[in-house]
């Protein structure tokens, strides 16, 4: 099967006067205009946020363990830029593109004369170029990965039991990209993204494919043409405008049993069209920043963005706090909105990741193949200030997806564009299971359940997460067997595993930790195979006591939680009835 490079949004190649491309007669450039202060007229208008956004802010404040009097849900960053200042900027002849409450800035198209007039305005604190966008669906000029057809199966997959084979039939060729993340197990536990609102930012979306028939869209915005239609518009778009976004959305939320299933097909969605492909004028980051602020105000829990800005920011500016889109992403996390963004496809050289994936507030995603090997195109870190990025990786080589502009066809494509929605879907499953968790708790659970959590690096980050383990994190699990028959469960009645704080450890819950489902003392019964799980334990050190009729009692050494991952197995010695 041919590997299709969906997401190769071509910049600077075609001129489209028939589709309304901007005129070249007056040279204009896009700039950020930063304002010195904000309007002090009255209180912040709460109507800028939906009830869902206010509820999310309050929930996240509680989840972070903030004081009994949490900070105000509204602050100065919820104010629009001062109207008088904006009018004065426009009076210079500059065209207002977008406004940013969080940055207290406007972006404008300005020629040199207008820019000089803006610089002279006493309330302007700074001016910066708006960065050009380059979506990371292409392989940065490299050759495509070899075609693989359906994702390759590992030995463990080949040896799957009947239940796993049933899963593989249900998920179709998308099985491997989900199975390596533990998503089928999370689905079997009853989590499919229910109750979570996800905003997808991309090139546009055509929802006529069968895999998107059941998609629930709460709202949509086209930030390029300022309307509410994110689909293909023949009057102003290239025919391939929505291809990339359609593919990304299908990987995240598709539902066509036997053909494709996405991790979060029961979530609800906001759709934002933030770029226009295929014409000479740069595609800018200001649409992305505006869209993130919109998503937060609408009450989104997660943003999934397969876009990056590699063409403007110098290496020393990839510090997570310089690029405007990175600054916006950091504020989003403060507000309780988790931004999941691709690192880009400019690897494997060091520091090849692109803003906003350099931001501390962004869960940055790289790509691996079906066997967990780093994709040769996947952008890597570290950031300029030495932090490991990406944070997580998922399958972006030969990722299975809906084929845009068809009803029933599917294809494979390469790119961190497609690993990103898989990780966003994982975050949705964890949040669906734990709606009272903060975005940091969701992030930590995914990272600390990943296969490189003990040795994160700037290539894989914390590695490939296991969403089943993340839902249960922090957990203690293992098997109880009979010492005389290695591998066999204890005979007769199932064993009981009890836990309590280890002698000498504190019996108080640490401040600021994620809410936990399990109490600090309790017990569980092992199943017929001897397996047991103690999920979502509060932070602390625990001692396990294992009992079974006819067997000698056993005790564990103190077990620290977190991390609490890894098997804690016991072999009991039979003493008779």
What is the C-alpha to C-alpha distance for residues 280 and 14, in angstroms, rounded to an integer?
6
Choose between 136 and 400: higher pLDDT.
Answer: 400
Alpha-carbon distance of 321 to 330, in angstroms, equals 8
Q: What is the mean pLDDT of residues 31-44?
A: 83
The contacts of residue 352 (CB under 8 Å, 6+ apart) are 310, 343, 344, 346, 379, 380
Using pLDDT thresholds of 50, 70 and 90, give the confidence band for residue 275. Answer: confident
Quickly tell me which residue has 């069968």 as its tokens.
Answer: 210
What is residue 204's predicted lDDT score, i.e. its pLDDT?
95
The CA-atom distances, in angstroms, between 491 and each of 484, 528, 558, 569, 573 are 11, 9, 27, 16, 11
Q: Which residues belong to CATH 3.40.50.200 in the chain? A: 3-9+134-471
Alpha-carbon dihedral sign for residues 550, 555, 561, 564: negative
Predicted TM-score (pTM) of this structure: 0.88
Segments in 313-365 forming alpha helices (H):
324-334
Look-up of token digits 């300005």: 110
Considering the chain, what percentage of its residues have pLDDT values greater than 70? 83
Q: Mean pLDDT lowest for which of 34-43, 177-186, 200-209, 311-320?
A: 34-43
What's the maximum distance between 2 C-alpha atoms anywhere in the chain? 95
CB-based contact 251:32 (threshold 8 Å)? no
Q: Answer yes or no: is pLDDT of 145 > 80.
A: no
* Strand partners of residue 198: 269, 302
Residue 515: predicted pLDDT: 57
> Could you give the CA distance from residue 288 to residue 275 in angstroms, rounded to a whole number?
8
| Spatial distance between the Cα atoms of 305 and 133, rounded to a whole number of angstroms | 12
Taking the C-alpha atoms of residue 341 and residue 200, their distance in angstroms, rounded to an integer, is: 10
CB 298 within 8 A of CB 57: no
Give SS3 for 328.
helix
pLDDT tens digits, residue range 341-386?
A: 999 999 889 999 999 999 999 999 999 999 999 999 999 999 999 9
Distance separating alpha carbons of residues 241 and 278, to the nearest angstrom? 8
Mean predicted confidence (pLDDT) in 272-290? 76
Structure tokens of 27?
């040279």
CA distance 426 to 392: 11
pLDDT at 453: 95
Residues 6 or more apart whose CB falls under 8 angstroms from that of 25 comprise none
Three-state SS at 92: coil
Strands 362-368 and 392-395 come out as parallel
CATH number listed for the domain at residues 3-9+134-471? 3.40.50.200
Confidence of residue 492 (pLDDT cuts 50, 70, 90): low
What are the φ/ψ torsions at residue 74 (nearest 5 degrees)?
Answer: -120, 140
Mean pLDDT of 48-66: 92
CATH topology of domain 476-572: Immunoglobulin-like (2.60.40)
From CA 27, how far away is CA 113, in angstroms rounded? 11
pLDDT band at 42 (very low <50, low <70, confident <90, very high): low
Match 């497609």 to its residue by tokens.
418
Among 221-230, 285-294, 459-468, 482-491, the least confident range: 482-491
DSSP state letter for 469: H
Q: Are the beta carbons of 253 and 265 closer than 8 angstroms?
A: yes
Torsion of CA 89, 92, 94, 100, to 10 degrees: 0
Selection from 204, 138, 146, 134 nearest residue 6 by Cα: 138
Phi first, then psi: give them for residue 337, nearest 5 degrees.
-105, 120
Which of helix, strand or coil describes residue 210? Answer: helix
Task: Copy the structure tokens of residue 498.
Answer: 């009890």
179 pLDDT exceeds 50? yes
Intervals of CATH 2.60.40.1120 along the chain: 476-572
Has residue 159 got a pLDDT over 80?
no
Residue 467: C-alpha distances to residues 152, 165, 436, 494 (Å): 21, 20, 17, 28
Task: Return the closest-CA partner of residue 391 out of 422, 423, 435.
Answer: 423
Burial class of residue 558 in the structure, from the number of CB atoms within 10 Å of its CB (0-12 exposed, 13-18 middle, 19+ buried): middle
Is 443 within 8 Å of 391 (Cβ atoms)?
A: yes
Residues 6-33 have pLDDT tens digits of: 333 322 222 333 333 444 455 788 999 9
The verdict on whether omega for the bond into residue 563 sits within 30 degrees of 0, i.e. cis, is yes
Q: How far apart are CA 463 and CA 394, in angstroms?
A: 8
Give mean pLDDT, residues 88-108. 96
Higher pLDDT, 441 or 147: 441
The predicted pLDDT at position 503 comes to 87
């Amino acid at each position: 099967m041919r590997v299709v490079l969906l997401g190769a949004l071509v910049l600077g190649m075609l001129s489209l006067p028939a589709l309304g491309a901007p005129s070249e007669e007056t040279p204009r450039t896009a700039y950020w205009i930063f304002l010195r202060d904000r309007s002090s007229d009255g209180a912040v208008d709460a109507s800028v946020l939906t009830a869902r956004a206010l509820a999310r802010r309050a929930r996240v404040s509680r989840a972070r363990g903030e004081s009994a009097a949490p900070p105000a849900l509204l602050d100065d960053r919820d104010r629009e830029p001062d109207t008088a200042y904006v009018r004065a900027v426009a009076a210079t002849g500059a065209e207002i593109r977008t406004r940013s409450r969080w940055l207290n800035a406007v972006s404008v198209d300005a020629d040199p004369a207008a820019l000089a007039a803006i610089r002279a305005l006493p309330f302007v604190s700074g001016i910066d170029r708006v960065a050009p966008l380059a979506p990371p669906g292409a392989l940065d000029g490299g050759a495509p990965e070899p075609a693989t057809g359906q994702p390759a199966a590992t030995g463990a997959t080949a040896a799957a039991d009947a239940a796993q084979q049933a899963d593989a039939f249900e998920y179709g060729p998308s099985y491997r990209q989900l199975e390596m993340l533990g998503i089928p197990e999370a689905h079997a536990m009853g989590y499919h993204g229910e109750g979570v609102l996800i905003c997808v930012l991309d090139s546009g979306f055509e929802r006529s494919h069968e895999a998107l028939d059941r998609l629930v869209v709460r709202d949509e915005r086209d930030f390029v043409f300022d309307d509410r239609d994110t689909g293909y518009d023949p009057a102003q778009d290239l025919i391939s405008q929505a291809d990339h976004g359609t593919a990304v959305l299908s990987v995240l939320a598709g539902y066509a049993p036997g053909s494709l299933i996405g991790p979060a097909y029961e979530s609800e969605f906001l759709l934002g069209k933030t770029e226009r492909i295929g014409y000479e004028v740069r595609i800018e980051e200001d649409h992305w920043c505006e869209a993130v602020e919109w998503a937060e105000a609408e009450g989104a829990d997660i943003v999934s963005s397969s876009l990056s800005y590699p063409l403007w920011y110098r290496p020393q500016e990839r510090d997570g706090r310089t690029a405007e889109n990175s600054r916006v992403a950091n504020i989003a996390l403060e507000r309780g909105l988790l931004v999941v963004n691709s690192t880009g496809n400019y690897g494997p050289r060091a520091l090849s990741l692109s803003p906003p994936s350099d931001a501390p507030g962004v869960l940055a995603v790289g790509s691996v193949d079906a066997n967990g090997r780093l994709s040769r195109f996947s952008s890597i870190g570290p950031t300029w200030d030495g932090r490991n990025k990406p944070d997580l990786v998922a399958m972006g080589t030969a990722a299975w997806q809906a084929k845009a502009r068809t009803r029933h066809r599917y294809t494979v494509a390469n790119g961190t564009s497609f690993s990103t929605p898989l990780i966003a879907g994982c975050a949705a499953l964890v949040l669906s299971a734990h709606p009272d968790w903060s975005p940091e708790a969701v992030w930590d659970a995914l990272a600390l359940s990943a296969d490189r959590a003990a040795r994160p690096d700037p290539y894989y980050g914390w590695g490939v997460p296991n969403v089943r383990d993340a839902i249960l994190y922090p957990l203690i699990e293992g098997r109880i067997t009979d010492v005389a028959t290695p591998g066999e469960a204890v005979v007769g009645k199932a064993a009981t595993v009890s836990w309590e704080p280890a002698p000498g450890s504190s019996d108080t819950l640490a401040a600021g930790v994620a809410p936990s489902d399990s109490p600090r003392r309790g017990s569980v019964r092992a199943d017929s195979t001897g397996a047991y799980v103690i999920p979502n334990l509060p932070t602390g050190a625990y001692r396990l006591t294992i009992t079974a009729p006819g067997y000698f009692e056993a005790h564990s050494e103190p077990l620290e939680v977190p991390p609490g991952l890894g098997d804690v197995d016991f072999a009991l010695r039979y003493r008779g009835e």
